[in-house]
Amino acid sequence: MQPFKPSTIFYTPDSLNDRGIKALQTYVDAKHVEIKQHNRLPAIDGNHFQVKSDVLVLGKLKTLICRESGRSSDFISPSLANGCMGACAYCYVDRNKPVNPITLFTNTEEILGAVEKHVQKQAWPKIPNQTHAKFYTYDIGCNSDISVDAVLSDSVKETVDFFAKHPKAFATFATKFVNPELLTYEPAGKTRIRFSLMPATVSKLVDVRTDAIEKRIAAINDFYQAGYEVHLNFSPVIVYEGWQQDYRELFEKLNQEVHPQVKARMSCEVIFLTHNQWQHEANLAINPKAESLIWTPENQETKRSQFGGINVRYQYQLKAQLVQEFKALQQEIIPWCPIRYIF
């Protein structure tokens, strides 16, 4: 992984438990600035993407709510962190913030306590569904990349240990990084890592500062051997001239690289690209080559998100055709990797 070396750390006084103090001590050369609220930062120099690699925020998460999901998980747990050092051109987490550095929440025990209270309120045994046949599944990385968070503190290890021992709960997260530290944990088959994949040539344009697709694929077998359940996350699917051939080559590489034992237990999820006017304007100044792929008004339409934002997606009838084309490729080349959901 690319090293994360913030030049400035903002912190709230209530974040300075042992975990918060250790984070400050890890980056002794950074400027340490006390703030009142983790979500109200002072003016920061640098563009939107520079801030993501130069700034770290330490805070205490006070909204300890588990939200319903139903796609990658049954529920979304309270966040261990918010933001990521990656600068993906399409990142949905960035859409409603002028700047979005990594905010590490140091009250991990309270976050896991909220999950414990929530799961104990659920009916048992669970009715099997596509998220898991037995356990209630919690996405622990909906607003961040867990592989990066694990570099910053012991919160990820503590969380993996919590789910490994829990009789009813199961963890999951998607990632675009390969952090070898995670291979030293003991997930006991109770954490599902979903490696996000797309054609490598496109990833180099839009997945800024993340690990290469080849590296992610090479890590699949290792994580399975380390005790993780490994799935794939084809997200976002970006449509351009020749996209089907590029996915054919990606699927063929997976056929070659993934061990038969892993294939027998693997599934995937597929999400076609959505984009955003604010992101588009920011990218024009910073990453215009990416915009030539992801901002294509001739085949996109506006969409109001479930959180009220105005985004763009592929036109409804076109998208229905694209979904069928993707399904056909999957069935032809990697039928061992069934699609859990696609939209």
Structure confidence by residue, pLDDT tens digits, 231-289: 999 999 999 999 999 999 999 999 999 999 999 999 999 999 999 888 898 889 889 99
What local confidence, expressed as pLDDT, does residue 307 receive? 61
Structure confidence by residue, pLDDT tens digits, 195-217: 999 999 999 999 999 999 999 99
User: Where residue 27 falls among pLDDT bands split at 50, 70, 90?
Assistant: very high
What local confidence, expressed as pLDDT, does residue 44 receive? 87
What local confidence, expressed as pLDDT, does residue 303 receive? 83
Q: Is the pLDDT of residue 142 over 70?
A: yes
Third-level CATH fold of 8-342: pyruvate-formate lyase- activating enzyme (3.80.30)
What local confidence, expressed as pLDDT, does residue 96 receive? 66
What local confidence, expressed as pLDDT, does residue 92 receive? 83
Q: Is the pLDDT of residue 95 over 80?
A: no
Please report, for the chain, the start and end positions of each structural domain, with discontinuous segments joined by +.
8-342
Structure confidence by residue, pLDDT tens digits, 295-343: 999 999 998 776 666 799 999 999 999 999 999 999 999 999 999 999 9
What local confidence, expressed as pLDDT, does residue 336 receive? 98
Q: What is the mean pLDDT of residues 48-68?
A: 94
What local confidence, expressed as pLDDT, does residue 306 receive? 65
Tell me the pTM.
Answer: 0.96
Of 35-39, 167-171, 309-313, the range with the lowest mean pLDDT is 309-313
What local confidence, expressed as pLDDT, does residue 304 receive? 78
What local confidence, expressed as pLDDT, does residue 99 receive? 78
What local confidence, expressed as pLDDT, does residue 310 receive? 79
The 3-state secondary structure of the chain, one letter per residue: CCCCCCCEEEECHHHCCHHHHHHHHHCCCCEEEECCCCCCCCCCCCCHHHHHHHEEEEECCCCCCCEECCCCCCEECCCCEEECCCCCCCCHHHCCCCCCCEEEECCHHHHHHHHHHHHHCCCCCCCCCCCCCCCEEEECCCCECHHHHHHHCCHHHHHHHHHHHCCCEEEEEEECCCCHHHHHCCCCCCEEEEEEECCHHHHHHHCCCCCCHHHHHHHHHHHHHCCCEEEEEEEEECCCCCHHHHHHHHHHHHHHHCCHHHHCCCCEEEEECEEEHHHHHHHHHHCHHHHHHHCCHHHEEEEECCCCCEEEEECHHHHHHHHHHHHHHHHHHCCCCCEEEEC
